[in-house]
Structure 1
Amino acid sequence: MPKAYWINTFRSITDQEKLAAYIELAGPAMRAAGGTFLARGLPAAAFESGTVERTTLIEFDSVEAAVAAYHSPAYQEALRALDDGAVRDLRIIEAVPETSA
């Protein structure tokens, strides 16, 4: 089963306190669900329609695991803490299958 990647891009942040509360809860929720943070923070570069707001990349063992993490009670609590404090674009994509040489 291919790994999956959770890509969370903030389009705008309107409440830094709500964002801080979200981060406090979301990180542990993702790790508890089996997620591994690969990158997070402000982009080093953005092109075309890219935004320079906070972006997070998390690896999961599967799409199902990433979707389950989103629906988990712990992550839903993090979303309630964010409560309209930001506009985001969240995607879960399946990894490209490994090829044999």
Structure 2
Amino acid sequence: MGAKGYWICRVQVHDDDSYAEYAAAANPVYRAHGGNPVVRGGRFEGVEGSARPRNVVIEFPSYQAALDCYNSPDYVAARAIRQRAAEADIVIVEGYEAPQPSA
């Protein structure tokens, strides 16, 4: 199997109720594509550059699965809810599978 795929999301929520509606719509879509949230909110320290108050990382079984989820009709519908409720920066990245450099 190839490298995993990840959504890395930085979010500024403006409407908590609508964002909760988004989360309820989006979570089943992530799961249907093999997505597993590995970071969802929690404490953080913005040590360089800009930061947003909510950070999310979702791991997918592959980079293609991550792209397919984002572009799926069900997520497009959920995304429209999020876009009304929050501002977000989202990147989809391929995981690293090569041997780790030695110390």
Separation in structure 2 between the aligned mates of residue 43 and residue 90 of structure 1, nearest angstrom: 19
- Counterpart amino acid of residue 40 in structure 1: R
The TM-score with structure 1 as length reference comes to 0.86
Alignment partner, residue 94 of structure 1 = 94
Moved over 3 A (4+): none
Separation in structure 1 between the aligned mates of residue 83 and residue 97 of structure 2, nearest angstrom: 36
**How many residue pairs align between the two structures?**
100
What root-mean-square deviation, in Å, do the aligned CA atoms of Structure 1 and Structure 2 show? 1.9
In the alignment, does 2:4 pair up with 1:3?
yes
In the alignment, does 2:5 pair up with 1:39?
no
Separation in structure 2 between the aligned mates of residue 69 and residue 13 of structure 1, nearest angstrom: 22
The TM-score with structure 2 as length reference comes to 0.85
Could you tell me how far 1:80 is from its partner in structure 2? 2.1
The question of whether the paired residues in 2 share the 8 Å contact of 1:42 and 1:52 is answered with no
Alignment partner, residue 16 of structure 2 = 16
- Counterpart amino acid of residue 25 in structure 2: L
**What are the ranges of 5 or more consecutive residues in structure 1 without an aligned counterpart?**
none
* Pairs within 5 Å for 1:60-71: 60-71=60-71
Q: Quick one: percent identity of the two aligned structures?
A: 32
- Give CA-to-partner distance per residue, 1:51-80, whole Å, 9 cap, x none: 241111111121111010001122112112
The question of whether the paired residues in 1 share the 8 Å contact of 2:9 and 2:57 is answered with yes
- Which stretch of structure 1 is more off in the superposition, 43-52 or 30-39? 43-52
**What are the ranges of 5 or more consecutive residues in structure 2 without an aligned counterpart?**
none
Secondary structure in 2 aligned to 1:7? strand
Separation in structure 2 between the aligned mates of residue 95 and residue 89 of structure 1, nearest angstrom: 19
